[in-house]
Amino acid sequence: MHTDGPSATIPEAFEFYLGGSVGPSLYVRLVDGRNGRLLYEWASAGGYSGVVMEASPTPEEWARFRETVDRLGVREWEPEYVSAHSCCDVTYWHLRMEMDGHSVVVRGANAYPGSSGPEVSKQFREFRAAVERLIGREPFP
């Protein structure tokens, strides 16, 4: 576990997936914890482009991501979010993160932390935007 230096803000493990039959798909995975290097795949409407891209966020960008994770209480999210509205166009998501000795594994299907229905919560939108900033993409609405 890192406690000082630039790598102190980088998770020990990080993996995030968001996708479904419609809408954007994103898969991000930390491949180098020492340097914070990420690999990701992105597609605009279901499926994947097959193109794997790389991002290397700066220590400052990782620090900002960590602040967002803490502010949103990601470590307190429930293990699973499933909506009664998960019949047709389902959006699935999965997060696995190890940070400061804490492990978070969360998944959902048309349901999100901070939302009582199938609507994407402000909390989840902010988390997704933080992930997109890490890989250098402008968050989409």
Distances (CA, A) of 8 to 61, 68, 71, 100, 124: 12, 15, 18, 9, 24
Of 140, 137, 134, the closest CA to residue 38 belongs to: 134
pTM for this structure? 0.86
User: What is the CA angle 67-107-15, rounded to 5?
Assistant: 55
Lowest mean pLDDT among 25-29, 40-44, 129-133: 40-44
- The structure tokens 């400052």 sit at 60
CATH fold, domain 6-134, is Mago nashi protein (3.30.1560)
**pLDDT at 141 exceeding the cut of 70:** no
pLDDT tens, position by position, 82-117: 887 656 678 899 999 998 888 999 999 989 999 987
Give the pLDDT band (50/70/90) at residue 51: confident
> What share of the chain has pLDDT > 90, as a percent?
56
